[in-house]
Amino acid sequence: MNALSGIRGGRTAALAHPAMTKSPLERLLLDALEGRGEPEDGRGPGSGRERDAAGSPARWRERFAEGDRRAFAELVRVLSPRVRATLVRLVGSRDDAEDLAQETFVRAWKRREQFDGRGSVEGWLLRIAVHGARDFVRRSPRPLLELDAERDRASGPAPDAVAKDRELRRALRRSISVLPQRLREPFVLRVLEERSYDDVAAICGVTAGTARVQVTKARRRLMEALRPHLGDEERARGDRSEGESVADEEEGR
Residues 220-249, interacting with other proteins (CB under 8 A)? 222-223, 226-227, 230-234, 239-240, 245-247, 249
Q: Which of 105, 133, 183, 201 binds other proteins (CB under 8 A)?
A: 105
Give yes or no for residue 111 binding other proteins (CB under 8 A): no
82 binds other proteins (CB under 8 A): yes
Residue spans of alpha helices (H) in the chain: 10-16, 24-34, 57-66, 69-91, 94-110, 121-139, 146-154, 160-177, 181-186, 197-204, 208-225, 227-230, 233-237, 246-250
Dist CA 42 CA 47 (whole Å): 10
Q: Does 3 bind other proteins (CB under 8 A)?
A: yes
Q: How far is the CB of 66 from other proteins (least distance, A)?
A: 15
Enumerate residues 166-225 that contact other proteins by CB under 8 A: 166, 168-169, 172-173, 176, 190-195, 212, 215-216, 219, 222-223
Site for other proteins in 8-47 (CB under 8 A): 8-14, 16-20, 22, 37, 39-40
Q: Which of 51, 94, 118, 131 binds other proteins (CB under 8 A)?
A: 94
In the bound state with other proteins, the residue whose beta carbon lies nearer, of 4 and 53, is 4
**C-alpha span between 253 and 244 (Å, rounded):** 8
Q: Is 66 in the site for other proteins (CB under 8 A)?
A: no
Q: How far is the CB of 25 from other proteins (least distance, A)?
A: 12
User: Minimum distance from CB of 116 to other proteins (Å)?
Assistant: 22
Instruction: Candidates 43-51, 52-60, 123-131, 161-169: pick the segment binding other proteins (CB under 8 A).
Output: 161-169
Does 135 bind other proteins (CB under 8 A)? Our answer is no
Regarding 133 and contact with other proteins (CB under 8 A), the answer is no
C-alpha triplet 14, 202, 145: angle, nearest 5°: 75
CB atoms under 10 Å from CB of 69, counted, come to 10
* Long-range pairs of 225-234 with CB within 8 A, sequence gap ≥ 24: 225/171, 225/175, 225/178, 226/168, 226/171, 226/172, 226/175, 229/164, 229/167, 229/168, 229/171, 229/172, 230/168
Task: Decide whether 80 or 181 has the Cβ nearer to other proteins.
Answer: 80
**CB 157 to other proteins: min, Å:** 18
Alpha-carbon distance of 54 to 23, in angstroms, equals: 11
